[in-house]
Structure 1
């Protein structure tokens, strides 16, 4: 595979998978101690990666869950953020400015903070009540963060008696690292073609529904915009029909991500509409990826993980094709802002 270290990928994703028991121990203790809600509070891309777990709790659990913008929450506070809250704070670097500022406020409140970081010797690496360290870099962080946040959500549901097959679900999730590597191998031959589509337009409408919408948002904003300087319009597949559809015409690129949860029909609507008005609809559908031994239930949960793992292959080809390394920045962490 192009510019890819298989052993490194397996080490990082296996590290994330190996955290399941510790997450369960911590969450179980929090629930037993009277925790009343959970907040997922990341910044930028890390925040977006928490959305599928938050959505799972919103739709399948009666345990109150919240997600907010750290830059705003540090100013406004929240009536629901109390000493009885569980707070999940992801930051790959462990130094994200907005998250570090909010951590100080949360510590004053007395909530229980779980920090998910790639580096321990950092403000967030040292500042959490429970610190989960799994080294990763930009090209491997998505799967790691998606998995860790999913462990949090499933553990909450387990300890509240809202699911009865927790052990089976976790067992399947922990088998993912090697399966994801095989998905990458199987997709490698198609990755260059998808990259050509991305390189072939200077503007893309990127859309999806259900738990893959966050990955559409993330890939448009954090990869195509930040790392490739390609203009995008990330829009939820439902909102697509309340404004953005008017921008669709011949030669306008529409990129549709499709997952396998119950919201798939919302994405189908875009897929049925767009070809009538543009010749540049491109669909990336997780249903085409083979995952031996993974149940339909778990496939529905991990659709964003599957997309992230093949999009990394697409990005590897895209940066070579455009002679634009994914590490190149003009402003991000380069100038004051």
Structure 2
């Protein structure tokens, strides 16, 4: 039994997201046939950070200009590379995020083709977009849809030859992630029990896990648990942030299986010399049965989101602090 985990609902939600594959493929194929110049991945908070892995993937695989953008910043600075030949993707669990709504209006006014992934077909964001691809309500994370969209795009462009194999294997990801959650449950419980009174965390990740590191630090530990954090990219760790380490500093490292793994290994080797409280959440610890070795790295954010989902529920338990409790976010005017 997993704490606060509704397996049937989880399977229903994740299956609905990967079930969008035919629609995603059709959309990508039509957009590519028509032609577009660049792709904007626009979000706010967690949905912004969750776009970073796909900007990163584009840099590795493609010559297509792909840019992650903060919705609110776009509104005040603009972007001269955004034209009528641009495409923008937005994601929103609720479909109501104000910053994203205003950014959609900004894009539409400039003739940008807007795609929305959400769980509510009649939500403001779904209705404002040119096309909305809708999963079950409250489906998270959007890595499910974004992985299919981006890999299909690079496949059509001749930059990702393994798409069909990847997408076929990926259809089994709902069940694979349930197994990840089961395996992570005792690890998460033990971590939470050991950190009941920890009020400061140092989080490190790199490559396609940097956005996830930022997201878990800001949107979960800070927003949902009111804990203090420092977050730093593993490639930047030795340029300042290391000075904050002390013997009792709780350090969390997010480790994946792409070419940036060595950067986080280097950080781990150093922090273990200083801190007596180092935790590594590593995708290598999970079998991911049915996923070929060459694809394990690209799905790392999705795997660790499932692992830390278990951690979050157990922190909620030991700290008696609901993950839904807010003092300011969507509570007061700002």
TM-score by length of 2: 0.97
1:11 maps to 2:8: no
Q: CA offset at residue 328 of structure 1?
A: 0.5
| TM alignment of 1:40-189, pairs within 5 A | 40-137=41-138, 141-142=140-141, 145-189=142-186
Q: CA deviation at 1:191?
A: 1.3
Matches for 1:205-216 after TM superposition, within 5 Å: 205-216=202-213
| Correspondence 1:193 to 2:190 | yes
Equivalent residue for 1:279? 276
1:198 Cα deviation from its structure 2 partner: 4.0
| Counterpart for residue 225 of structure 2 | 228
1:203 has 2:200 as partner: yes
Confirm or deny: 8 A CA contact 1:54 1:153 kept in the other structure. no
How many Å separate the matches in 2 of 1:29 and 1:92? Answer: 26
Gaps of 5+ in 2: none
TM-score (norm 1): 0.96
1:318 pairs, out of 315, 327, 331, with: 315
Q: Which residue of 1 aligns with 2:23?
A: 22
RMSD, aligned CA: 1.1
CA shift, 1:196, in A, is 2.8
Pick aligned residue for 2:298 from 294, 301, 306:
301
List 4+ stretches of structure 1 deviating above 3 A.
none
Deviates more, 1:243-252 or 1:186-195: 186-195
Q: 1:254, 1:281 within 8 Å by CA — same for their partners in 2?
A: yes
Aligned length in residues: 333
Does the CA contact (< 8 Å) of 1:41 and 1:88 recur in 2? yes
Q: Secondary structure at the match of 1:238?
A: coil
Q: Per-residue deviation at 1:136? A: 4.1
Residues 270-312 of structure 1: per-residue CA shift (max 9 Å, x gap)? 1100011111111111101011121111111111111000111
Q: CA deviation at 1:230?
A: 0.5
Cα-to-partner distance string for 1:173-217 (whole Å, 9 max, x where unaligned): 111100110111122122111223443311111111111121111
Separation of aligned partners in 2, 1:83 and 1:155: 22
- What stretches of structure 1 of length at least 5 have no aligned partner? none
Cα pair 1:43 1:91 within 8 Å, conserved:
no
Partners of 2:268 and 2:247 in 1: how far apart? 15
Q: Distance in 1 between matches of 2:266 and 2:314?
A: 30
Distance 2:229 2:109 in 1: 39
Report if the CA contact (8 A) 1:146-1:305 is conserved: yes
3-state SS, counterpart of residue 95 of structure 2 = coil
Q: Are positions 1:292 and 2:289 aligned together?
A: yes
Which position in structure 2 is the counterpart of 1:246? 243
Taking a change above 3 Å as real, the CA distance of residues 199 and 216 of structure 1, as seen in their structure-2 partners, is farther
2: distance between equivalents of 1:97 and 1:198? 35
- Separation in structure 1 between the aligned mates of residue 80 and residue 148 of structure 2, nearest angstrom: 26
